[in-house]
Amino acid sequence: METWPIYRVMGPDANDEDRVPDPVKVKIYEDMVLLRTFDEKTITLQRQGRVGTFPPSIGQEASEIASAHALSKEDWLAPSYRDHGALYVHGVPFENVILFAMGKASSISGQVRALPTSIPIATHLPHAVGLAWAARRQGEAVVAMAYFGDGGTSEGDFHEALNFAGVLKAPVIFFCQNNGWAISVPVRWQTASPTLAQKALAYGVHGQRVDGNDALAVYQAVKAARERALAGEGPTLIEALTYRLGPHTTADDPSRYRPLEEWEVWRQRDPLVRLGRYLAERGLLSEAEQAAIQERARAWINRAVEAAEATPPVDPTAMFRYLYAEPPPRLLAQMQALQEEIG
């Protein structure tokens, strides 16, 4: 009978040793602080009407940030709508994420090996497999990493992607951030499987569960999956167990479907607090140094917001010009009507 233990590096339940270099630990912490600060700021901006609907990552910083740090900048990233932290680590400026939320241009960085953010659920997973397969055929020693939530495992694209990847032994990592809820639908209503990781078995893919709030475990798990992929051992499905402390998006009210007692349990496992305490205990970052990091993050994010808001607004007729090489008459008529309306 296959068992699915939860891989941990920090705390009394650790089942592996910490092999993360100290400078990497500190950098992961700094970027987790930056992501938390960014999310808190952007929620405020949305409430003020300065950005559109926004999906915060509060509570999932260890999964996002540590996983991206385990990759090479030459690897490919296929993100979902909540993975702006991973995109930042991979090279996309936070200003671009704010621009995206504002509906402005320049929200995608062409110099970074990352697909645009996928709003539809799991549709980007087959694309990640294609990127990994293409890179291998071209002789590149890189992998593709696909980010998605537990809700994505209920979509057909998830199963097609794993089947495709398993057959081809494509160098791809499927990174599932299982935060317990697909908006208001709990995992127990999505699947009868005791774990999501075990779904890998049906496709001949390596599966692993990891404590998604243990940044060091996430880093080591992804790093090992990358090494297996580059060694020709095929793809890995990682189920990172974490929790969304905030709303699904700023249009959501989790208090309508999620028990407060459950939220309180997971609040005690805050990955940012957990890593900060771990670093302080080992003399890598004092409380004063952690406070200074938070202060620098706030100042940095404020500057990023100023830069994004200074960007000129997008021409609303641009959406007609980038759909077809030669727009059909009906779209040309709609574009002309819009131009006349806005003057």
- So which residues are the catalytic ones? 244, 248, 257
Q: Write the DSSP assignment of 114-125 as a string of letters.
A: BPPPB-SSSTTH
In the chain, the N- to C-terminal Cα span, in Å, equals 69
Say if CB 90 and CB 77 are below 8 A apart: yes
> What residues contact residue 257 under an 8 Å CB cut-off, 6+ apart?
181, 184
Of 163, 171, 173, 157, nearest to 204 by C-alpha is 163
Strand blocks (E) in the chain: 6-7, 76-78, 144-149, 172-178, 181-182, 185-186, 206-211, 236-241
Q: Distance between CA atoms of 166 and 164, rounded to whole angstroms?
A: 6
Amino acid at 313: P
Quick count: other Cβ atoms within 10 Å of Cβ 130?
19
The strands making up 144-149's β-sheet, listed across from edge to edge, are: 6-7, 206-211, 236-241, 172-178, 144-149, 76-78
Quickly tell me which residue has 């949305």 as its tokens: 46
Measured between alpha carbons, how far is residue 137 from residues 140, 170, 173, 285, 291 in Å?
8, 10, 17, 44, 47
